[in-house]
Structure 1
């Protein structure tokens, strides 16, 4: 089914925002190498500095969701784009590592509001939600790939300060586009049980107090959303652990030694080719997953993806010694499934929460995804250091098995709710 005009307008706006969030996010590690030399600091120090920028992206998701419900999603996304761009402009003026840290902190704070605001906008404004979730995810993957590529290429010819300025320009242009974009942010709210609509960008008159926020949170977590939150957190553990350590794992595999790059690309590790291929396959996964959400219930899609997660993680153990081609094929399938699950859990949030608290719901969702999911990085690092490689993949499979069990629990709860006799519910209410 073709997207209507409102769906297309929201899709363009959110795709632009999503790609730029990851454009900036993935360019930062490229600058890290330069800052080591520029400011004569250790890897540990620069690692802490970068963590200062990344931490608010997860921690700020919840307040970002609250602000989205309070001030409107479009306004918040525009502030996000402007804040990220201005942070990189300020970064170009940094004369010390402390200033770099402050600029990255500002970037992380402003970037943190995008996911709850952008996904809330799609869930309440778009009729063909699954399709737009798919294109939205593809745009994010495009930013993931292009950000580091443009930054690394720019550093071959320019000082890092000028590259930072160049990185800021797309965000400023996006703000100009967003100011002119017109759409109805609540066009689809009534179709999924949403409440009263409002003009986006206007403050709501029913903003909850602190006690109201606590009450709204209790209501959310007393519902099926509690299971969705845990499912997303487990996906975050799997996702963060896999994407953080796969490049290092691929570089160290003896089976990769027979895979030689072309002469003109001498110096690039073979594992880098495969990792980029994984991300490219993820774009296809995003699209297919999004299209399937229009045809397959979100919870069934989650079960299927987690089952594949288990199989793929365990398959890495024997395949890692089979040679470059089998490893590349497995990584391609892995990337496809790893990103195919994203539209399903995004849709699940929309299915299991009311429209009037959608921003808060996505705030909690990405607190689980980026905040709790980041724990997987620390745990994965410990396992990589202390145990054989196979243990790391068993750890990933364990996360996925837990995801299967919780998703099945959600499915059973759905089936129980649909088969419960009406008279029982009515008598309980009496």
Structure 2
């Protein structure tokens, strides 16, 4: 990587880490919310799905904005907004207000991935390596954010813990303003966008009927988005979209209730330490997320050495096998249980940079932002149904059934990648 790539990694990795700090701290609050508000896993799963889902629903709009506006400013706005949203979570008084607060957080969170990934895709020279380090930054937040949350929850009420986490956004925002890098062609694009439609387009249609003339209006933007979307969704991108959707369902279904599922094991039952209750399951959960840092790095670097679809198929296959094996291994003792959790963390996060490269390869350069917008509609929007699915299964059946369902989802993902290789 050159100096500009390194600065780009610093800026995007900070914001990416913050996103995942919030996203993966939420499961640590799930059990406390069920107890405080007196609701079932199915209800909390639905509430959490609202916030996670809007990340994906808003992603295409964020993708369009990322193709037309200053991606750096969008990312900065997302950082501040996520902090505000999580601060409001601390004030929730019931499942409805909690859902509204998580929804607010999700609206701002929806901006990050389309803006951040399109910025990397357009700006980085060593794209695969920058994606890898960007993923590592996300997993640092993924691991240490929940670890900080778990430690705080030993000593303070969950509301105060949520409030403290909201302050982190301010610190990250200040740190981001100190990082300088050249965004290359984005500056030119911004200048054109700020000045209005292309002057060439104006000259070509003196009667004002050129569709470009309406690009500044809401109707014009919607038409442009529809046109770009039709061009984007060729056969290959459509199949890739379905593959990412299935990965999103697996990801959300696995992680949302994982601390509570792990707590079912006698080996990870709560213990009293120095007069306080310690939840070993929370620390195994954070260890799983920490191992994901290595998975992100390996997955990103792997795509520089082998075809991305080959890597995608391999990771999906591993996820299917691990999910099906989990209920069996969990009964074998503490060490095997921790071992399979670490493998799950490695492979579930190692898949992320792989599919990001697949999307970059299947989408035209001029709609990279929109492509990632739709990608995260699949990953976080439709994928958020994984939280509802997990809550429903756990309310009406067992965690063993949940992992069998997740294994089937990953198996379908592998078959989808096989189909993508044939397109």
TM-score class, shorter: 0.7 to 0.9
Aligned length, in residue pairs? 399
Between the aligned partners of 1:30 and 1:389, the Cα distance in structure 2 is 17
Between the aligned partners of 2:98 and 2:327, the Cα distance in structure 1 is 40
Which of 366, 374, 377 matches 1:364?
A: 374
The equivalent residue for 1:230 is 242
Contact 1:282 1:338 in 2 (8 A): yes
Q: Aligned pair in 2 of structure 1 residues 62, 11: CA closer, same or farther (>3 Å)?
A: same
- Offset from partner CA, 1:14-41 (integer Å, 9 cap, x none): 101011112233445556777789xx74
Q: Aligned pair in 2 of structure 1 residues 82, 302: CA closer, same or farther (>3 Å)?
A: same
Contact 2:262 2:281 in 1 (8 A): yes
The equivalent residue for 1:76 is 74
Q: Aligned pair in 2 of structure 1 residues 51, 340: CA closer, same or farther (>3 Å)?
A: closer
Contact 1:185 1:199 in 2 (8 A): no
Name which of structure 1's ranges 123-132 and 149-158 shifts more when overlaid on structure 2.
149-158
Contact 1:20 1:171 in 2 (8 A): yes
- Offset from partner CA, 1:283-316 (integer Å, 9 cap, x none): 1111111111211221111011111122212222
The equivalent residue for 1:286 is 296
Between the aligned partners of 1:238 and 1:31, the Cα distance in structure 2 is 20
The one of the two structures with greater contact order (alpha-carbon pairs below 8 A, sep at least 6) is: 2
State the SS of the aligned residue for 2:256: helix
Equivalent runs, 1:286-365 vs 2, <5 Å: 286-365=296-375
Equivalent runs, 1:82-97 vs 2, <5 Å: 82-88=80-86, 94=91
Between the aligned partners of 1:243 and 1:374, the Cα distance in structure 2 is 11
Q: Aligned pair in 2 of structure 1 residues 163, 299: CA closer, same or farther (>3 Å)?
A: same
Any unmatched runs of 5+ in structure 1?
Answer: 190-195, 414-430
Which of 203, 208, 214 matches 2:226?
A: 214
Contact 1:141 1:282 in 2 (8 A): yes
The equivalent residue for 2:138 is 140
**What is the alpha-carbon root mean square deviation over aligned residues?**
3.3
Q: Aligned pair in 2 of structure 1 residues 262, 132: CA closer, same or farther (>3 Å)?
A: farther
Give the TM-score, by structure 2 length.
0.82
State the SS of the aligned residue for 1:209: helix
- Offset from partner CA, 1:329-354 (integer Å, 9 cap, x none): 11111211111111000111111111
State the SS of the aligned residue for 1:267: strand
Any unmatched runs of 5+ in structure 2?
Answer: 198-211
State the SS of the aligned residue for 1:318: helix
Q: Aligned pair in 2 of structure 1 residues 60, 261: CA closer, same or farther (>3 Å)?
A: same
Contact 2:31 2:260 in 1 (8 A): no
Between the aligned partners of 1:95 and 1:310, the Cα distance in structure 2 is 37
Give the TM-score, by structure 1 length.
0.81
